Amino acid sequence: LKRFRKKYGIWKARGQHHTVESIHPMVNAIKARFPNQGVRDLRHTLRLEYRALVSEDVISRHNHEHDREGVRNRLARVFVRHLYDSAAVNECWAFDQHDKWRRFGLYLHVGLEAYSGRVLWLKIWWTNRNPRLVCSYFLDAIEKCGCECCVRDAVGCCSFIFCDVVMPLITQSDRGSENHGIANAQTDLRHALDRDLGDTLQHKWRSKNRNIKPEIFWSRVRRGWAPGFEEVLQRGFDAEIYDETVPWQRMVFFYVFIPWLQLELDQFATRVNLSRKRADKRIGRSRAAPEYIFRRPQKYGSPEMKVDVTGAEAAIAGARQAYAPPSHSVFDLVEPEFREILDDAYADLGQPVVNIETCWNVYCGLKA
């Protein structure tokens, strides 16, 4: 294996010979977006965004040299341990909304597979209180998420077949009318596939602070992802170049910022899904990346309780039409007529790339 890596130039951490000085520009660029990232998160970000495999020792030395205050702040945190029991992969999908950016008019929503911790969706929009919108996230996840099943032939050989459409045994959320769409769609689909369920509700309602998995995830978002972007958003508000009380300015803001922030959230979700967990003797499942446990639970010694809905496209389409009709206005980023005007204005600007450095410049260009 070492000879092949040398032949094709595929080096691991030791072979890439990174030093504190060589990773400094990359870490600075990452810190502009994620100022609070520690050693492990920095290592995963370098691997996924820069294809740089760097040892934790090198990153730790870099942080102690260039981010001493950040190291002290991270060491001072006090963690409170909570227990959460999950029997198997796809036994439960948990979801929750996040309103900490309400002052910007932006709202987040997440769905997690509780056993593996895989992020099923991580969305930002101008609302998270509409049950049609929230239900559409759930139905999209059912159609996109799958797993690999081991099928043995007559001689006992095992082959893996990708199952395109799966859903959980049960869903879980806080109490709230915005979650009724998922609760109803989950229950209707489960009843359509299993008549023995009778009239039972296939959704668990959790009281405040009892929907633990999403709460832990939001803590990670607030600590590791949000601060850099929040500072950029606040900068525009403080400079008074955006007035959220003016409807047309609000639509320009949504047009520029929501698609860009969604791309950033997608990258964050991918990094979470493809990163191994820290070793912990208190956790019974494998510490492999959540994506791998979710796709091939048998390989990692994990049980599975998926509901295979392959071939039930009509039932899913019926649930979508009933609880998340695509024609509803909640799915419009901005008003369609105003969207055409903004598209033309964006083309006149030369369709500049929106990122953490250019976002407010693009907004001001469209506003002018």
* pLDDT score for 8: 67
Burial class (CB in 10 A: 0-12, 13-18, 19+), 252: buried
* pLDDT score for 35: 86
Phi-psi region at 62: left, alpha or beta (left = phi > 0; alpha = psi -120 to 50): alpha
* pLDDT score for 15: 76
Report how far residue 99's alpha carbon sits from residue 260's, in angstroms, rounded to the nearest whole number.
Answer: 19
Burial 94-131 (b: 16+ CB within 10 A, else e): bbbbbeebeebebbbbbbbbbbbbbbbbbbbbbebebb
* pLDDT score for 81: 60
Q: Residue 39 corresponds to which tokens in the numbers above?
A: 């050693």
Calculate ∠ Cα 307-310-312, nearest 5°. 95
* pLDDT score for 311: 83
Give the helix ranges, DSSP H, for the chain.
Answer: 2-8, 13-16, 20-33, 39-50, 56-66, 68-75, 131-144, 180-193, 212-224, 226-238, 247-273, 290-295, 313-323, 336-348, 359-367
pLDDT one digit per residue (tens) for the chain, 368 residues: 667 666 666 777 777 888 999 999 999 999 888 888 888 889 989 988 888 889 989 999 999 898 888 888 777 654 456 667 788 999 999 999 999 999 999 999 999 999 999 999 999 999 999 999 999 999 999 998 765 544 444 445 544 445 568 899 999 999 989 999 999 999 999 999 998 998 999 999 998 778 889 999 999 999 889 999 999 999 999 999 999 899 999 999 999 999 999 999 999 999 999 998 887 777 878 889 999 999 999 999 999 998 988 888 999 999 999 999 999 999 999 999 999 999 999 999 999 999 999 999 999 999 98
What is the pTM assigned to this prediction? 0.81
Spans of all domains in the chain: 2-75, 92-224+283-328
Report how far residue 217's alpha carbon sits from residue 221's, in angstroms, rounded to the nearest whole number.
Answer: 6
